[in-house]
Amino acid sequence: MRRLPEGLILVSGGAEALRNGDVSHPFRQDSDFLYLAGAEEAGFHVLLDPKRRQSTLFIARIDAGHKVWEGKVPDIAECRRLYGFDRVSYADSLPRRLKGLRRGYRRFYANRPASRNYSAVLPFKKRDCDSLLDALQELRAVKSAAETASIRKAGQVSARAHRAAMEKARPGMREYEVQAVFDGECLRAGLPHLAFPSIVAAGANAAVLHYRRNDALLKSGDMLLLDAGAELHGYASDITRTFPVGRRFSALQREVYSIVLDTQKACIAKLKPGLNSADLHVFSMRMLAEGLKSMGLMTGDTDGLVESEAIRLFYPHGIGHLMGLDVHDGTGGSGRKLPNPFKFPIRFVAKLEPGFVLTIEPGLYFIEALLNDPKKRAKYRTSVRFSKAERFLGFGGVRIEDDLLIREGAALNLTDSRTAPKEISEIEELRRRALA
């Protein structure tokens, strides 16, 4: 209300979406609505009236027939107690309420579903979705202590689920069996929603960045990449671990893994308020390029390998992303927008602030679509030893990802590495005991 004092503000929550026939998709609340209201039910709205400094939550009116099928849903008295709004009313009274308030205002701020559903009731000349969404992005970037606590709890459950997956994975299993372990652990902890579909990628599949088939065989000698995270009250966690399907990493796997792990730890050590995420990304590109040079897979001056983007053949994504109610949160609204200081494209350019939560997730992959692309082979023939890199097709890739809270001084790692180990010796010890 302070940020947008000139207008009436209406934010609609999500509505149930049909899957087929009369069966709905599992409902997950809209993130902006969840940020403002905390209510996870469908068919709710929030109305903010800055002139009268009044907030109202509108809840779905449920008829008796509905209760037969759905059971108890929170009523007005209960919602008043749960969500802390000045007023709670039924959603069917919203059009009348809007008409009554319209005279005091020249502007109407609405999120897209609210604008779609209530514009006819509100014949405002100035209807504004973008300013509202921008204000919400601005607010959501810096996390409160309560928000950080939710992210942390989601992270603790995810770390335990990663450990369980690391203990239960066996050669001869299918990827979905490991997914069942991870997803099941989260559900067993009372967290029914995951922040995103779990990526369980064995062997060569780890080179598919958003792999989701999850049906291949786990083979001894391969590694398994697990990128997965639970969600608590909408707050995400996002953790990746890569570990051997057998007891030990091979010598080559160990070499690639160490480069990624050293890069990840060095990036985490650099985190502090004021750091530009673009600089951190370039730092990670440099470290990974030097690692590949030491393996004889790349040649030439490190700056050149970064500026020409040759390193993107092996590291085709960013160092991380902000995280909150969305696993890939926005970057804090237009007020925080910074120009990219580099000549090549970087998606995540932001000055880190205390209260930001972000992932740090460098990776190295051997992706056939990139390494066998004739144009790329011509362009990078002096920087990449393609004949050697080809021998790694089928190797897959390594990614290591933790969630970090920026604060004054060193960042706080929200991923418990004792629960979900990432050091080679700790992973091998865990695998040795698991397979004994």
For Mn ion, the binding residues (CB under 5 A) are: 238, 359
What is the smallest separation between the CB atom of 21 and Mn ion, expressed in angstroms?
35
Residue 381 to residues 298, 372, 375, 387, 388: CA-CA distances in angstroms?
A: 10, 12, 10, 10, 12
Nearer to Mn ion, 238 or 428 (CB): 238
Distance linking the first and last C-alpha atoms of the chain:
60
Identity of the residue, 243 or 348, whose beta carbon is nearer to Mn ion in the bound complex: 348
Question: Least distance (Å) from Mn ion to the CB of residue 321?
Answer: 6
**What CA–CA distance (Å, rounded) separates 434 from 436?**
6
Residue closer to Mn ion by CB (options 48, 226) is: 226
Q: Which CB, 135 or 325, lies closer to Mn ion?
A: 325
C-alpha of 72 from chain center = 32
Residue with tokens 């990802």: 401
Q: Which is nearer to Mn ion, 179 or 237 (CB)?
A: 237
Smallest gap from residue 405 Cβ to Mn ion (A): 15
Sign of dihedral through CA atoms 155, 157, 158, 159?
Answer: positive
Nearer to Mn ion, 110 or 236 (CB): 236
Residue closer to Mn ion, measured from CB, 206 or 305: 206
Q: How far is the CB of 323 from Mn ion (least distance, A)?
A: 7
d(CA 11, CA 33): 6
Q: What angle do CA 270, 271, 276 make, to 5 degrees?
A: 100
> SS3 for 380?
coil
Min CB(239)–Mn ion separation in Å: 8
Asked if residue 75 lies in contact with residue 106, where contact means CB atoms within 8 angstroms, the answer is no
Strands 18-20 and 239-244, how do they pair?
unpaired
Closer of 321 and 376 to Mn ion (Cβ): 321
User: What whole-number distance in Å separates Cα of residue 230 and Cα of residue 233?
Assistant: 10
The residues, any chain, with a CB within 8 Å of residue 280's CB and separated by 6 or more, are 267, 270, 271, 319
Is the separation of the CB atoms in 55 and 46 below 8 Å?
yes
Cβ partners under 8 Å of residue 36, min gap 6:
11, 46, 136
Q: Is the dihedral of CA 176, 178, 179, 180 positive or negative?
A: positive
How do beta strands 235-236 and 231-232 pair? Answer: antiparallel
Residue with Cβ nearer Mn ion (124 or 315): 315
CB of 344 to Mn ion, least distance (A): 21
> Shortest approach of Mn ion to residue 240 CB, angstroms?
7
To Mn ion, the closest distance from the beta carbon of 92 in angstroms equals 41
Supply the minimum distance, in Å, between the C-beta of residue 22 and Mn ion.
Answer: 36
Report in angstroms how near the CB of residue 159 gets to Mn ion at its nearest: 15
Closer of 181 and 400 to Mn ion (Cβ): 400
The nearer residue to Mn ion, 205 or 359, going by C-beta atoms, is 359
CB of 358 to Mn ion, least distance (A): 9
Give CA–CA dist 171/175, Å, rounded.
10
Q: If you write DSSP's letter for every residue of 30-72 in order, what string do you get?
A: -HHHHHHH----TT-EEEEETTTTEEEEEE----HHHHHHH--
Q: Is the dihedral of CA 348, 354, 357, 361 positive or negative?
A: positive
How far is 328 from 196, CA to CA, in rounded Å?
10
